[in-house]
Structure formats: structure tokens, C-alpha cells
Structure 1
Amino acid sequence: MRNSEVTKQRLLDAATAEFAAYGIAGARVDRIAVTADCNKQSIYGYFGNKDGLFDAVFDAMVVQTVSSVPIDAHDLAGYAGKLFDWYRKHPEVLRLANWQQLERGDANELIKIMADATQEKVAKVRQAQQAGVVSDTIPAEYLLVLVIRLSTAQLDHCNLDQKKSKALRAAMIEAVRRIVTP
């Protein structure tokens, strides 16, 4: 990896933590630069401005989330459980999504980003529906959104202890199972 790529990655990592903690408005370019061990000009050179940096962080987060948890469209309840576990390990993802919605408020842009990122997964759900393995009462693209949203239930609003987390996970998996069973 070239030095500029390493610097850019350090900036993205530092910015991810900063934006997750403070949001777009509260994030400080100075803190990001210090954490990334580079100068502020690097941020402007690579990303244009703080908003451009947030966009890069958010886009990378969406791609990482979608690619980190492979889908098994024949076991959407199991997929939801894996998503739940992944979100528990990566709470910054839900915080970034919340900040994006709160500060940008452009639901259409968020929907487009998610739709583009999950096209392949929607196609797999649609195939499972056509095979009769998954209920087709809800269109595949909406069904996937429901599964994803159920997998984040309560994770972005509170810190759950292990026992409550386990119970919530089990309830969420059962809810998904009931929704998708033909």
C-alpha cells in the first residue's frame, strides 16, 4: 500500500470514530488530523472538506456492512442473527447512520445508497421467494429492509447486558422467521 493510501486510511479510521462520537456538526477536523497523525491539509486534499470526508466514511461504512455479513436467502432468520451480532461488535455503524439521518435528513439519498449496495442481496431474496423458500407476500427489496431493521432493534438506543442482548436476539430471529416463512 502506498504512503498516500495509508494516510487516507488513517484519516478514514480517525474520522469514523470522530463522526460516530460527535456527528457531522460536532466533529472537528483538527481532532481527526491529530488522531490520524497527519495535517489538516491532507483532509482537504483527499476529501475536499469535512462533508466530503463524512461522505467517504459513510460510503465505506455501507460497503463494509453489506460485504461483511454474507446473506443466505434460504435462512433469513440466521442472516438477521449474524447482522445483529455484527452491529453489536460495530456500534459506530448505527451511530453513523443515525447522525446521517439526523444531520442530513435526506432519506432518499440514504435509500439510494442502501439500494445500490444491497442489489445482489435483494436478487437472492427474490430467488428464494421464487423457489418458495421465502414468503412472497412482501416484495424482496422491502423484506430485506425489514430484516435489516429488525436486526438493529434497540442496538442504537441502549447498551444491553449479555442476558437482555441474548433474549432480544432470539426474539428478533423468531420475528424474522415468522415474517419470511411461506
Structure 2
Amino acid sequence: MAWDVERTKRLLLDAATAEFSEHGLAGARIDRIAANAGVNKERIYQYFGKKHELFAVVLSAQLRSTMDAVPMKGEGPAAAGDYAGRLFDHHVAEATIPRLVFWEGLERGESAAADAARAEYHRAKVDGFQRLLPGLDRPQAAELLLTIVTLVNAWPVLGHLDELLVGADEAPAARRSARRASIVQTVELLAEAAQGTGRRDRVEVQG
């Protein structure tokens, strides 16, 4: 029987995603990934290289999946708020991306920033956000998108701070809804302000 390479890769990536999400890059164990996938660990090195290379593949796959699952739609501040709300929903339902990104920042931030593939992915995200908010220049769009990502990534992994700062009087579902509404409102207001600044800048240049 022929070896099903693609199935083996999927099993390894699924096991690696769970392992890195739970333990980070330094704490993850290749033996554990292989055992959970039911695959010889030598296949990991054969298909993906070293552990940090496997981590990069896992995160890249998760980011692409999220981009497909949460597209940018519409135009204007309300569309920006809607995108932030849907991204929040996605990350609350599946906290893998927030956890992986936080681990990445702690353990390999500089090397990630220098990664050409990651840089291209984020350039595409900023391009899309500029289309969502016409009139914003690239630095404005990047700044606002960074704010959105920071807000929606933080809540799933910093729940203890939410409880310390806000308290635990509300039911979990009600608290999530309240936090979501706060993020959406914040993003809409920031988007309105950014578009207003962009319009004023264009008028000044034309004048």
C-alpha cells in the first residue's frame, strides 16, 4: 500500500498545532507531536524540518485559514467594526491563533518580523484594510489594523486580567457580548477619526 503523504502531513500539523498552542515553541516536544499523530517522528524532520520551522508552518496555515474564515467585507467605519467583531468571535470560539501569536512574540519575535512570507501576508492584510476604509494612507491603515488585532487577540488569552479589572459578576456569555460590543464601538470610533484625519490631510495638501 502506498504511503499517504498528505494524510500524514495533516495528522502531524494537527498534532503540532495543538502542541504549540498549549506549550509554545520551547515547551513543545517533537516526540509528543509524533505520538499524538501516530507517526514516526522522523517524518516531521523529513516533511517540515526543525521544530522552529514546523512552528512557522503551523502558524502560517492557521493565519491563512483565519483570513478565509473572517474576510474583510463592506466599506467604512461600520465595516471595520463588523470585521473586528467577527474576528473576535472567531478567536473566542477557537483561541489557537491568539495563543500561537503570543507564544511567537515571546519566543521568536525578531525572527518572525524578518520572515518574508509573514511580511507578505501582513502587507496583504493592510492592503485589504485600506480598501475597507478608503482614504486612509498605509500607516493609518496599519495602525488601526494593529489595534484591532491587539484587542481581539488579547481577550482569549488574558481572561484573568478581564476578571481582575472588570469582575466576574456577569455570566460568561453576557461578558463576552459586552466585551465584543466595546471592541466594535472602539474600532468604529477610531475608524471614523482616522478617515476624518485623512480627509483633512488631503484638503491641506490640495490647498
TM-score normalised by L of structure 2: 0.76
Alignment of 1:1-182 (within 5 A): 3-74=4-75, 75-106=79-110, 109=113, 115-130=119-134, 139-158=140-159, 161-181=172-192, 182=196
Q: Is the 8 A contact 1:62 1:114 kept in 2?
A: no
Q: Is the 8 A contact 2:129 2:141 kept in 1?
A: yes
Q: Is the 8 A contact 1:77 1:173 kept in 2?
A: yes
Whichever residue aligns with residue 186 of structure 2, its letter is A
Q: Is the 8 A contact 2:59 2:100 kept in 1?
A: yes
4+ runs deviating over 6 angstroms: 135-138
Q: If each structure's helix is expressed as a fraction of its own residues, which one has the higher value?
A: 2
Q: Is the 8 A contact 1:101 1:107 kept in 2?
A: no
Bigger radius of gyration among the two: 2
- Structure 2: segments with no counterpart, 5+ residues: 163-171, 197-207
State the distance in 2 between where 1:61 and 1:151 align.
16
Deviations 1:59-113 (A, max 9, x none): 1122222222100251010010000000011112111111111111317617865
- Alignment coverage as a number of residue pairs: 178
Moved more, 37-46 or 158-167: 158-167
State the distance in 2 between where 1:40 and 1:102 align.
26
- Give the CA deviation at 1:138: 6.2
State the distance in 2 between where 1:174 and 1:23 align.
32
Q: Is the 8 A contact 1:84 1:152 kept in 2?
A: yes
The RMSD of aligned alpha carbons is 2.5
Q: Is the 8 A contact 1:71 1:121 kept in 2?
A: no
Percentage of matched positions with identical amino acids: 36
- Structure 1: segments with no counterpart, 5+ residues: none
